[in-house]
Amino acid sequence: MAGGGSGRDAGVAWGRGPVYVYGERLNEVADETGYLVRTALVLGPRLGMILFQLPPNLKKDVERLRAFLALLPAGLPAAFELRHPTWHDDGVFEALRGHGAALCSADTEEDEQDAPLVPTAARGFVRLRRPDYATTDLERWARRIGKQPWERAFVFFKHEDAGAGPRMAAAFREIAGSLLE
């Protein structure tokens, strides 16, 4: 697991806003995807990952996913948050691996169990979405992420009005850093 990095990497999320995957559900989005990718690549080496988030009611369609992945240039650091449980399947994981795309693991309030961590790319992408994590929770997540074969892991906390996300991110970074020593 990589440490906190330079602190200068930028992530790009595609899931909400004027250009988003929700409305098109991965269909007929070549122009929008090309524009997004060209724009994100302006970040150069500072581009962390691009997150493609699918709606929770979109069920697995591996061929549609493969067609969308084919729109992405080789080596593009992309992660996919596939929220419907039907997507958690070996065929989907293989499609992502075939394009070097990460499976986003998201831990939410609705989940009773820890989100699965399935390495499908050299980089990992984890969203810790609960409103609060105790130190023991952060330590557990840091250990789980540290056991993955990723060259680098991008870990994001929920953004909310109370401002707990930055506090938890700082604590997580410190914990993860101590595990690397």
Task: 110-119: list long-range contacts, CB under 8 Å, 24+ apart.
Answer: 114/140, 114/144, 116/88, 117/144, 117/145, 117/148, 118/88, 118/93, 119/148, 119/149, 119/150
Share of the chain above pLDDT 90, in %: 56
pTM of the predicted model as reported, rounded to 2 decimal places: 0.85
Quick: pLDDT tens for 43-62: 888 888 999 988 888 899 99
Edge to edge, what strands does the sheet with 152-157 contain? 10-14, 47-53, 78-81, 102-107, 123-128, 152-157
Average pLDDT of the segment spanning 159-176 = 89
In this predicted structure, what is the pLDDT of residue 180? 74
In this predicted structure, what is the pLDDT of residue 11? 57
The residue ranges of every structural domain in the chain are 10-180
Q: Which residue has the higher pLDDT, 80 or 162?
A: 80
Flag whether pLDDT at 176 surpasses 90. yes
CATH number of 10-180: 3.20.20.410
In this predicted structure, what is the pLDDT of residue 12? 59
Flag whether pLDDT at 16 surpasses 70. no
In this predicted structure, what is the pLDDT of residue 158? 86
Average pLDDT of the segment spanning 124-144 = 94
Please tell me the distance from the alpha carbon of residue 6 to that of residue 121, in angstroms, as a whole number: 21
In this predicted structure, what is the pLDDT of residue 9? 54
pLDDT band (50, 70, 90) for residue 1 = very low
